[in-house]
């Protein structure tokens, strides 16, 4: 009798396991993102009027795995360097999308840098990274290579803002003095999220859940499968990033427990967003941070939508003022121009001419999420 019961129990367990494995397999195979949404004019159109004629050439630093990661440098204007800012673009985009903001910071006396985050632009295969956590390693390698003028601020826009929050709450957070989040993507569970990010993305939720379950058992065989697609115009897919793998989507954002991520931040941090935001619920940012137990200064700018946060002169000045306010908490850290010239002593490779740059970016989209 006991042997019979044990046999029935074993059979039941095997059936349950088989059903779960089949469900995971179906979710991975069939639960990916659907067709991308139609292009969003509010995301694509504003960049058609941007002057990219003075866009700096890309340079590269070498990451720890030997990969060449691209960035653009915007030297500070003036005799005294106030500090430095490192700009992180949003989803699908690249360093060129932060051109206007980088120029504004440089004109204000900051050495500015805009990165092609790995998986974007000229940094690796578009839409892919090797593993979750590689983006933080790349950022650390960049800081070690460049020797940033102090105080230094890491600035992120949209999904880039989510990644900056991730970095600000990580064990590496002391690599920067301050953190500025521009309309950051927080989480699918946060009150700020509009359905489909306001029409910017389609997400393969079943596939994400299934791969996350397998990750919990140490299985990463499916981390390179696509899980999100963006509303990128067909003509732009050659140089923008139309979709993300699971690994990139999970890394280019805050930690899954975003509230713990927020609570772990010890450095000065500010949030800027536009009141006319079409991608997120901007009026919810304050409650998201307060619920997480963090008192973070949040500024909502009237008349500003998602993309204009990186282009409008009032928004750019608000970003500069936010960095200056955090810098003033650390007096006497401004560095002379001669000290910051060390940043150009590392080995740099140029990837294309200044003359070719406008043709690659003119009239193209930036990012949304």
How confident is the model at residue 3, as a pLDDT?
74
Using one digit for the tens of pLDDT, what is the confidence trace for 197-241?
A: 778 899 999 999 999 999 999 999 999 999 999 998 877 777 789
Please state, in angstroms and rounded to a whole number, the distance separating the CA atoms of residues 53 and 357: 7
pLDDT top residue among 93 and 336? 93
Residue 148 has pLDDT above 70, yes or no: yes
Please write the tens of the pLDDT for every residue from 322-342.
999 999 876 444 443 334 434
Token output for 140: 């650390």
Give CA–CA dist 209/293, Å, rounded: 28
Task: Report the alpha-carbon distance of residue 91 to residue 43 in Å, rounded.
Answer: 11
What tens digit of pLDDT does each residue of 27-40 get?
Answer: 898 898 988 888 88
Give the separation between CA 98 and CA 101, rounded to whole angstroms: 5
**Percent of the chain at pLDDT above 70?**
88
pLDDT grade for 13, boundaries at 50, 70 and 90: confident
What phi and psi, each to the nearest 5 degrees, are found at residue 259?
-70, -40
**pLDDT single digits (tens) 275-332:** 998 889 999 999 999 999 999 999 999 999 999 999 999 999 999 999 999 998 764 4
- Domain topology for 22-361: Rossmann fold (3.40.50)
pLDDT at 30: 80
- The Cβ of residue 241 has, within 10 Å, a number of other Cβ atoms equal to 24
Residue 60 clears pLDDT 50, i.e. is over it: yes
Return d(Cα 278, Cα 275) in angstroms, integer: 9
Phi-psi region of 155 (alpha: psi -120 to 50; beta: other; left: phi over 0): beta
Q: Left if phi > 0, otherwise alpha if psi is -120 to 50, otherwise beta: which for 218?
A: left
The DSSP-derived string for 287-349 is: HHHHHTT----EEEETT--TGGGGT-HHHHHHHHHHHHHHHTTSTT--EEHHHHGGGGSS---
pLDDT reported for residue 101: 98
Q: Where are the domains of the chain?
A: 22-361
Confidence of residue 191 (pLDDT cuts 50, 70, 90): very high
Q: Is 68 helix (H, G, I), strand (E, B) or coil?
A: strand
Rounded to whole angstroms, the Cα distance separating 218 from 178 reads 34
Going by pLDDT thresholds of 50, 70 and 90, the confidence category of residue 44 is confident
Q: Please state the rounded mean pLDDT for residues 98-113.
A: 98
């Amino acid at each position: 009798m006991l042997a019979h019961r044990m046999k029935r129990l074993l059979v039941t367990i095997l059936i349950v396991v088989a059903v779960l494995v089949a469900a995971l397999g179906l979710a991975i195979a069939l639960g990916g993102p659907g067709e991308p949404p139609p292009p969003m004019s509010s995301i694509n159109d504003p960049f058609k009027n941007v002057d990219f004629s003075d866009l700096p050439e890309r340079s590269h630093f070498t990451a720890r795995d030997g990969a060449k990661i691209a960035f653009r440098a915007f030297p500070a204007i003036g005799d005294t360097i106030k500090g430095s800012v490192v700009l992180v673009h949003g989803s699908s985009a690249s360093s060129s999308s932060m051109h206007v903001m980088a120029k504004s910071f440089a004109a204000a006396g900051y050495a500015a840098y805009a990165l092609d985050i790995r998986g974007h632009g000229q940094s690796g295969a578009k839409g892919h990274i090797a593993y979750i956590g590689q983006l933080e390693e790349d950022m650390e390698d960049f800081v070690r290579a460049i020797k940033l003028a102090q105080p230094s601020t890491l600035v992120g826009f949209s999904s880039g803002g989510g990644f900056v929050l991730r970095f600000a709450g990580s064990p590496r957070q002391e690599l920067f003095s301050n953190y500025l989040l521009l309309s950051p993507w927080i989480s699918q569970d946060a009150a700020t999220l509009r359905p489909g990010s306001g029409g910017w993305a389609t997400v393969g939720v079943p596939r994400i859940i299934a791969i996350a379950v397998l990750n919990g058992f140490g299985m990463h065989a499916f981390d390179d499968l696509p899980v999100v697609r963006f509303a990128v115009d067909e003509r732009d897919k050659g140089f923008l990033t139309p979709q993300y793998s699971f690994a990139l989507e999970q890394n280019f954002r805050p930690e899954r427990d975003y509230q713990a991520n927020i609570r772990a931040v010890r450095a000065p941090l500010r949030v800027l967003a536009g009141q006319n935001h079409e991608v997120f619920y901007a009026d919810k940012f304050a409650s998201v941070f307060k619920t997480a137990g963090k008192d973070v200064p949040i500024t909502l700018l009237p008349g500003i939508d998602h993309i204009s946060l990186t282009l409008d002169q009032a928004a750019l000045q608000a970003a500069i003022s936010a960095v200056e306010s955090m810098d003033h908490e650390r007096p006497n850290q401004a560095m002379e121009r001669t000290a910051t010239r060390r940043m150009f002593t590392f080995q740099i490779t140029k990837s294309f001419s200044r003359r070719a740059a406008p043709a690659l970016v003119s009239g193209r989209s930036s990012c949304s999420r």
